[in-house]
C-alpha cells in the first residue's frame, strides 16, 4: 500500500502569508501537514470535506516547524496526534521521540531537515508516483535560493541536498504549489 496526497490549499508569501496545507492518507492513517495560516478556515475544511474526510477522522497532524503560519489551525483536528521535531502530543500526553525516521505509517515518515529553524522536519510519503516530500526547505519552486529567515543557511542547503539526493518525484513547499525538482531547483 502507498500513501496518497491531496494539497488542500496552496500557500503564498507576500503582504499576506499562508501555509501550504496538505492531506496524506495511508490505510487508516489520515495526516494533515502544516495546518497554518489561511485567509479562511474553509480553505482547509472545504477541500478536506471534498476529499471525504471530516476533521475528527484526522489521526495525525505534522508541524514542519513551530511558526504560527504553519500551526495556527491545529485545533481543527480534535482526535489527532500532533508531531514535531522531538515529540508526539495527544490530549494531555507528551511522548518524547526524535522525529528523524519516525514512521506514522508504512508509507509516511518524518525526517529532520534543519535550516529554516534548527527544529524543522519534513514529511516523506511513498506514493504510487514516487516519493513526495512536504517541507519548508523551499517556500516555492523558486526557493528562494538564500532564505532570508533561515537560522542556519548552511544547514538549510545541506538539508536541501539531502532531500534532492532522495530523488523525490514531487516537493510540496511551505508556501507554494507542489513542484517536480529539476537540476535548476535551488539546493
d(CA 31, CA 183): 30
Would you state the pLDDT for residue 184? 84
Other Cβ atoms closer than 10 A to 85: 20
Counting as low any pLDDT under 70, the low residues of the chain are none
For residue 172, which of 127, 119, 115 has the smallest C-alpha distance? 127
Would you state the pLDDT for residue 172? 98
**Exposed e or buried b for every residue in 104-131, given b needs 16+ CB within 10 A?**
bbebbbbbbbbbbbebbbbbbbbbeeeb
Would you state the pLDDT for residue 143? 87
Would you state the pLDDT for residue 1? 75
**Cβ atoms 9, 20 nearer than 8 A:** yes
For residue 32, which of 119, 126, 108 has the smallest C-alpha distance? 108
**Cβ atoms 86, 99 nearer than 8 A:** yes
Would you state the pLDDT for residue 106? 98
Q: Concatenate the DSSP letters of all residues of 39-67 into one string.
A: S-THHHHHHHHHTT--GGG--EEE-SSS-
Cβ neighbors of 79 (< 8 A, separation 6 or more) are: 56, 57, 58, 59
pLDDT digit string, tens, across residues 32-66: 999 999 999 999 999 999 999 999 999 999 999 99
Would you state the pLDDT for residue 183? 86
Amino acid at each position: 500500500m502507498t500513501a496518497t496526497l491531496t494539497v488542500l490549499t496552496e500557500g503564498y508569501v507576500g503582504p499576506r502569508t499562508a501555509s501550504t496545507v496538505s492531506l496524506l492518507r495511508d490505510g487508516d492513517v489520515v495526516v494533515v501537514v502544516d495546518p497554518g495560516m489561511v485567509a479562511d478556515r474553509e480553505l482547509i475544511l472545504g477541500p478536506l470535506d471534498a476529499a471525504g474526510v471530516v476533521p475528527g477522522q484526522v489521526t495525525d497532524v505534522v508541524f514542519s516547524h513551530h511558526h504560527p503560519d504553519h500551526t495556527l489551525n491545529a485545533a481543527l483536528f480534535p482526535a489527532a496526534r500532533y508531531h514535531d521535531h522531538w515529540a508526539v502530543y495527544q490530549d494531555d500526553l507528551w511522548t518524547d521521540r526524535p522525529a528523524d525516521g519516525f514512521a506514522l505509517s508504512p508509507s509516511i515518515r518524518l525526517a529532520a531537515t534543519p535550516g529554516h529553524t534548527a527544529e524543522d522536519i519534513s514529511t516523506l510519503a511513498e506514493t504510487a508516483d514516487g516519493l513526495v516530500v512536504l517541507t519548508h526547505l523551499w517556500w516555492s519552486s523558486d526557493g528562494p535560493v538564500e532564505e532570508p529567515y533561515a537560522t542556519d543557511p548552511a544547514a538549510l542547503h545541506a538539508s536541501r541536498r539531502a532531500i534532492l539526493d532522495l530523488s523525490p518525484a514531487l516537493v510540496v513547499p511551505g508556501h507554494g504549489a507542489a513542484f517536480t525538482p529539476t537540476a535548476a531547483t535551488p539546493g
